Structure 1
Amino acid sequence: MAGYGGRPLIVVPRTALPHWSGTEGDYDRACEVMDFVGVLELPDGAEELVLGGEPLSTAYLPEHRVVVRRHYAESGEGVADIIRTGLPTAEWEEGPVLSTTGELVMFDAAYFGTEVGTLTDSTTLDLAAGRYRVDSAAIEPNNLTSFRVHRFAELN
């Protein structure tokens, strides 16, 4: 799981990366998202997803189309298995709808989109173009382990 320095994370279509202005303006808008997830629009009309809340280690599990954020756990071992086991019984809260033209990139909201791959780490979310509702759930298999999971549910 990657850490992202305690700032909000954003998920932006790769084609719209040049339009994300980081601390020159867009970062402040991302910080205004108080929910677990929110959708903002970029100047070119592209939509981006903001992962709000506290700074958490974060990973993407492509086989389930879920972003996993660790609140607390005894270790980082076996995260994928814990999530895989918890998904079928998770109680999902419906989230916002995100429209995308395809591949998404998740990174620290403070950076400019043009800095992705050079000055900041990123994670690629290989999703097909379309509309997705981003639902959220808690997975807490015991009192020592808590994850927040966001799934991309494809809409027709």
Structure 2
Amino acid sequence: MAKATRRPKEFTQAQLYELKHNPNVSSIEGRNITYTSVFKIAAIRADQDGVRPREIFIRGGFCLEAIGTDTPKRCLQRWRAIFDKYGEKGLMNEGRQRHNRKHWTLEEKLQDKIHVAEEQIRLLKDENAQLKRELRELQKLYAEKPKRLYVRSRVSEY
């Protein structure tokens, strides 16, 4: 049994051109290939019919030397698990989108910090105004009460 070849570290220009123009490829970023949901579903159906993973990818127009000979098997294992758990709708959603975080520019980060600081300032001003009102009410109550002096007598024990 031949050893599975790993995909090379980078795509050649010809491989990139071929992959970008393949209708079964949604996008390519670096070494990551995003396959279309139509291809994923068709691949799962073909796999259920007994077609081998390599054959599915060759029929899909992929060069195994470019993507790696072990890629079809790994992709189908991953897609099968998603299909078993979520059905076709799971394959329709792009998995990477669920975990993407927004990449903020420096200006956006600073604007967000300014917005948070302004909100904190507004809340603190509201709190100060409330405390001032309460202080005025307490001062009014204290002014209305007659002042009494209490003298404690000290008793010494002899």
Q: Same fold (TM over 0.5)?
A: no
Structure 1 or 2, whichever has the larger Rg, is 2
Return the structure number with greater strand share.
Answer: 1
TM-score range, shorter chain: under 0.3
RCO comparison, higher one (Cα < 8 Å, 6+): 1
TM-score by length of 1: 0.25
Which structure shows the bigger proportion of residues in helix conformation? 2
